[in-house]
Amino acid sequence: MKILIVGTGYVGTTTGLIFCEMGHQVTGLDLDDHKIKALQAGKLHFYEPGLEDLLSKHVTAQNIMFTKNSKRAIEENDLIFICVGTPQCDDGSADLTYVKSVAESISIYMNRYKVIVTKSTVPVGTANLVTKWIKESQDEQIPFDVVSNPEFLREGSALHDALNPDRIVIGTTSETASKLMKELYQNFPCPIIETNPKASEMIKYAANSFLAMKISYINELARVCDDLKINVKDVSKGVGLDHRIGPHFLKAGMGYGGSCFPKDVNALIQIAKENGKPLSILESVVQVNEGQPRYFIDKMKQAFGGDLKNKIIAVLGLAFKANTDDTRESPSLNLIDRLKVEQAKVKVHDPIVKMAGHSDQFPVIEETVADADALVICTDWDEYKNLDWERLKLLMNQPYIFDGRNILDKGILESLGFHYVGVANH
Ligand code: UDX
């Protein structure tokens, strides 16, 4: 099949490359000159393990090409995936400006029947809106169908997730479009859920919000466990082995971040409000998440006798989670801001993220922790798990470790003379 992917971010680029792997011919369309030039040269404009090799393979084999030419791309392709961003508006709802502008371009350049698929996470009812926007700006009526086909991949494991989905959701009322979509996904060994576009759109929000809810649940529970000196990791394990609950997304830490959970939970809250059925459970999920870095700072202050003023704090990790260069809504940045309010002196390190203009960022961990009163783990990067602690202790001013991701071994660190504080990691 010939497939057009509009929007070459995480979702668009990964989706396009997965289709290449399945033997399809893909065009990636984006208006950003910088992104297109990089992709044409086989270079990713973001960090995602394994993806650049796949990109370079398919660019070389000419299975994928990238362009800024909307007219030609739309005319030549009859299966079009919308993968553009849907940022958050001030009121928490999703901003559909980019989706709308893609719909309008499609309607202008549509030359024959097209199937238009929304892969971006969009509010319930967006497939219907896309249909309306296209119809409104069409001079002559050319038939088309709109399908909702949400993406569930995670940053940092995008390739694995896109190749091994738990399910594929196809939301459409058109038999022609449904047949085409099933053919496209025929080699994926997972269930295909066929439903209408609205239910499909709701599935995506409901799934992300449920996962965020699991995280906030375990984080709030961790605060109770902390007081009772219970190891929350044992609780997660014991609870997660119940197959009705499952072991995933029960890791207590500094709260969830990223480009999806914070935005999608807020968008669903907004949708519920607009329909007069507030989702109070999700409002609490947000509240707990926002409080988690504050909770952690309070633990730090307590360890230092109530005050962090002039303390030198080495923050390890800026990304919102390991294996990504994304810092959007990163709990780490939230913590750094709060540390500055507390008048602490902050030094930072991240193996991949480079914060432009961040004068206190150091390329090596040793330099970052030198003279520090405390070291804080903010991102669960593998390389922070097995550091040469004896050596680092010698470099530090005071041996305090605050493990915001519960990735370190408290017993080992304490035997080396560190004062260790995790998130209910007793
Ligand atoms: C998420 C969804 O998982 C994915 O299905 C969707 O398509 C996009 O949004 P992503 O944002 O890439 O993916 O990251 P994810 O791995 O889900 O983690 C989100 C946040 O939750 C991170 O900050 C992570 O550190 C945190 N998290 C995750 C926890 O704090 N505890 C956990 O147990 C799991």
Give the CATH number for residue 362: 3.40.50.720
Residue 260 annotated in active site? yes
Q: Is residue 205 part of a domain?
A: no
Report whether residue 407 contacts ligand 1, using a CB cutoff of 6 Å. Answer: no
Same domain assignment for residues 186 and 103: yes
Same domain assignment for residues 158 and 290: no
Please tell me the distance from the alpha carbon of residue 388 to that of residue 201, in angstroms, as a whole number: 47
Please tell me the distance from the alpha carbon of residue 407 to that of residue 418, in angstroms, as a whole number: 15
Q: Is residue 220 part of a domain?
A: no
Same domain assignment for residues 292 and 156: no
Same domain assignment for residues 56 and 128: yes
Please give the pLDDT value at position 93: 86
Give the H or E element holding residue 64. Answer: strand 64-67
Q: Among residues of the chain, what percentage have pLDDT more than 70? A: 99
Task: Provide the 3-class DSSP secondary structure of residue 116.
Answer: strand
pTM above 0.85, yes or no: yes
Same domain assignment for residues 269 and 356: yes
Q: Choose which residue among 15, 164, 169, 211 to substitute to test ligand 1 binding: the one with the highest number of ligand atoms within 8 A of its C-beta.
A: 211
Please give the pLDDT value at position 32: 95
Atom of ligand 1 nearest to the CA of 261: 9
Sign of the Cα pseudo-torsion (95, 97, 98, 100, in order) = positive
Please give the pLDDT value at position 355: 85
CA nearest ligand 1 atom 33, residue: 249
195, 222, 252: which is the final residue of a domain? 195
Distance 320 CA to ligand 1 centre (A): 9
Q: Is residue 224 part of a domain?
A: no
Q: Is residue 204 part of a domain?
A: no
pLDDT at 124 over 80: yes
Per-residue confidence band for 139, with pLDDT thresholds at 50, 70 and 90? confident
Once rounded to an integer, what is the mean pLDDT over residues 43-49? 94
Please tell me the distance from the alpha carbon of residue 203 to that of residue 221, in angstroms, as a whole number: 27
Once rounded to an integer, what is the mean pLDDT over residues 352-356? 88
Per-residue confidence band for 92, with pLDDT thresholds at 50, 70 and 90? confident
Please give the pLDDT value at position 357: 65
Of residues 220 and 120, more confidence is placed in: 220
Same domain assignment for residues 140 and 261: no
Once rounded to an integer, what is the mean pLDDT over residues 11-21? 97
CA nearest ligand 1 atom 20, residue: 256
Atom of ligand 1 nearest to the CA of 212: 21
Residue 140's alpha-carbon distances to 74, 110, 135, 385, in angstroms, are 16, 10, 9, 61
Domain with 264, as residue range(s), is 233-421
Q: Choose which residue among 290, 321, 324, 333 to substitute to test ligand 1 binding: the one with the highest number of ligand atoms within 8 A of its C-beta.
A: 321
What DSSP string runs through 175-244? HHHHHHHHHHTTT--S-EEEE-HHHHHHHHHHHHHHHHHHHHHHHHHHHHHHHHT--HHHHHHHHHTSTT
Number of domains in the chain: 2
195, 216, 243: which is the final residue of a domain? 195
Once rounded to an integer, what is the mean pLDDT over residues 331-344? 96
Please give the pLDDT value at position 88: 85
Q: Choose which residue among 119, 160, 233, 261 to substitute to test ligand 1 binding: the one with the highest number of ligand atoms within 8 A of its C-beta.
A: 261
Same domain assignment for residues 241 and 183: no
Same domain assignment for residues 24 and 163: yes
What average pLDDT does the chain have?
Answer: 96
DSSP 361: B
Q: Is residue 372 part of a domain?
A: yes
136, 169, 195: which is the final residue of a domain? 195
Per-residue confidence band for 137, with pLDDT thresholds at 50, 70 and 90? confident
Please give the pLDDT value at position 359: 67
Which one is catalytic: 83, 225, 260, 378? 260
Once rounded to an integer, what is the mean pLDDT over residues 108-131? 96
Once rounded to an integer, what is the mean pLDDT over residues 31-58? 96
Report whether residue 251 contacts ligand 1, using a CB cutoff of 6 Å. Answer: yes
pLDDT tens-digit series, residues 267-290: 999 999 999 999 999 999 999 999
Same domain assignment for residues 144 and 66: yes
Same domain assignment for residues 349 and 263: yes
pLDDT at 372 over 70: yes
Report whether residue 48 contacts ligand 1, using a CB cutoff of 6 Å. Answer: no
pLDDT tens-digit series, residues 382-418: 999 999 999 999 999 999 999 999 999 999 999 999 9
Same domain assignment for residues 23 and 165: yes
Report whether residue 250 contacts ligand 1, using a CB cutoff of 6 Å. Answer: yes
Distance 351 CA to ligand 1 centre (A): 19
CA nearest ligand 1 atom 2, residue: 154
Q: Is residue 206 part of a domain?
A: no
Atom of ligand 1 nearest to the CA of 331: 23
Atom of ligand 1 nearest to the CA of 121: 7
Please give the pLDDT value at position 358: 65
Same domain assignment for residues 253 and 378: yes
Name 144's bridge partners.
114
Report whether residue 319 contacts ligand 1, using a CB cutoff of 6 Å. Answer: no
Q: Is residue 210 part of a domain?
A: no
Please give the pLDDT value at position 396: 98
Report whether residue 334 contacts ligand 1, using a CB cutoff of 6 Å. Answer: no
Distance 327 CA to ligand 1 centre (A): 13
Q: Is residue 228 part of a domain?
A: no
| Closest alpha carbon to 53 in 40, 66, 42 | 42
Please tell me the distance from the alpha carbon of residue 323 to that of residue 49, in angstroms, as a whole number: 7
Please tell me the distance from the alpha carbon of residue 157 to that of residue 320, in angstroms, as a whole number: 14
Per-residue confidence band for 305, with pLDDT thresholds at 50, 70 and 90? very high
